[in-house]
Amino acid sequence: MNKPSQMPVATRPSSPAARIAGVILAGGQSQRMGGGDKCLLDLDGAPILSHVVSRLAPQVEAVVLSANGDPARFADFGLPVVADSVDGFAGPLAGVLAGMDWAAGRGYTHIISVAADSPYFPSCLVTGLQFACEAGDERQSMVNSPREGDGYFRQPTFTLYDIALRENLRGALQSGVRKVIQWTEPLGCAKVVFHGFGDDPFFNINTPQDLADAKART
């Protein structure tokens, strides 16, 4: 694996041709949290999702929520909600495609996906991922995190995508592809590591203990 680009990145202007929408992936089944929408659980007096929106909204032109089921449960957030167009639980790639379809119809050129249960990602996430694409001449870029000891592990829910790839993604989903990395790797995907943002800025809340840990760190 090529060594990932190192971040943080100094604030850089976005490419004038790029229009980026943010897609919050909230379609998981939350089994380790006991089911339901874990992004609606309270963290410091507000739903986890509120913290995610606050982090993402200043970095993009628009935010859309990828979630299945009754969208009315998210009405208080004032966000458009898009459901998977792929039958069955097809995982995060189905949410990425739903976000791409929504964004493509509104003139956006890229989307960035983030997890609905990760409230601490960096405020330079979008600029960092976009710069990695431009520097590496890639159409996608993904967050990588340092692994204890040596090496890196990928964070596929934090990825910048070129919307021009959406029909390729649609075909991949129809053929049975379900893992983000399974789809992105053959197409080329820049890798980015963000340093200097404290304890694991891509920490996600999967379990009751994770939620307790998140409350302790704020």
Answer whether 172's CB lies under 8 Å from 200's CB.
no
* Residue keyed to tokens 């998981």: 28
**What are the residues whose beta carbons fall under 8 Å from the beta carbon of 42, sequence distance 6 or more?**
48
Alpha-carbon distances of 145 from 3, 174, 182, 192, 211, rounded to whole Å: 12, 30, 18, 8, 21
CA distance 166 to 85: 13
Domain 5-10+18-217 CATH class label: alpha beta
Angle, to 10 degrees, between the axis of helix 92-104 and the axis of helix 180-187?
60
Separation CA 26–CA 37 (nearest Å): 8
DSSP secondary-structure letter at 213? H
In this structure, are residues 52 and 116 in contact, taking their beta carbons and an 8 Å threshold? yes
Q: Residues 94, 179: contact at Cβ < 8 Å?
A: no
The residues of the chain scoring below 50 in pLDDT are: 1, 7-14, 30-33
Please state whether beta strands 42-43 and 46-47 pair in parallel, antiparallel, or not at all (unpaired).
antiparallel
pLDDT at 200: 86
Q: How far is residue 58 from each of residues 39, 55, 125, 149, 187, measured CA to CA in Å?
A: 19, 7, 11, 34, 29
Q: What is the pLDDT of residue 51?
A: 96
What residues contact residue 139 under an 8 Å CB cut-off, 6+ apart?
Answer: 133, 161, 162, 164, 165, 187, 188
Strand runs (DSSP E) across 53-183, as ranges? 62-66, 81-82, 110-115, 140-146, 152-162
Each domain of the chain, given as residue ranges in start order, spans 5-10+18-217
pLDDT of amino acid 7: 47
Amino acid identity of 216? Answer: A
Angle between helix 166-174 and 92-104 (nearest 10): 140
**What's the pTM value of the predicted model, to 2 decimals?**
0.88
pLDDT at 14: 45
Q: What is the pLDDT of residue 88?
A: 76
